[in-house]
Amino acid sequence: MKKTLVILSVISMTVFLSACGSNDHNTSMDHANMTHADMNHSNHMQMMTEYCFNQMDTNNDGVVSMKEYMKYQHKKFQEADTNNDGKLTLEELVAARMKDKEEMKSYMMDHNPQ
């Protein structure tokens, strides 16, 4: 049981990080040395993180508790597990990530009209 929880935690963290656009880019650049593209990327990362944060902060108190975080991860896992077998295939994970990207894209369009 403990091993299963650890595995599910790793999977949920992976889903969360991929859904929130985590990557290897350095987003803590000195603003004075940032190009326009860097600033756009930084703004994009900020908005994606804000989107995920707002999804997790269900009581709107400005912080995400462990309970909120785990509830969000459980929900995302259940959404991704389309055949309800309690396991995620690569295909299910890819489909869930694509759905999350579309939701974030819509959020960013609504919150950053150009």
DSSP symbols for 76-109: HHHHH-TT-SS---HHHHHHHHHHHHHHHHHHHH
Q: What is the Cα gyration radius of the chain?
A: 16
pLDDT digits (tens, 9 = 90+) for 9-46: 555 555 555 555 444 444 444 555 667 666 676 787 88
77, 15 contact by CB (below 8 A):
yes
Distance CA 102, CA 85 (A): 25
- Listed by start position, the domains of the chain span 2-111
Per-residue confidence (pLDDT) for residue 77, from 0 to 100: 96
Is the pLDDT reported for residue 6 higher than 90? no
pLDDT digits (tens, 9 = 90+) for 90-104: 999 999 999 988 888
pLDDT digits (tens, 9 = 90+) for 37-74: 666 767 878 888 888 899 999 999 999 999 999 999 99
Quick count: other Cβ atoms within 10 Å of Cβ 70?
Answer: 14
Distance CA 57, CA 74 (A): 14
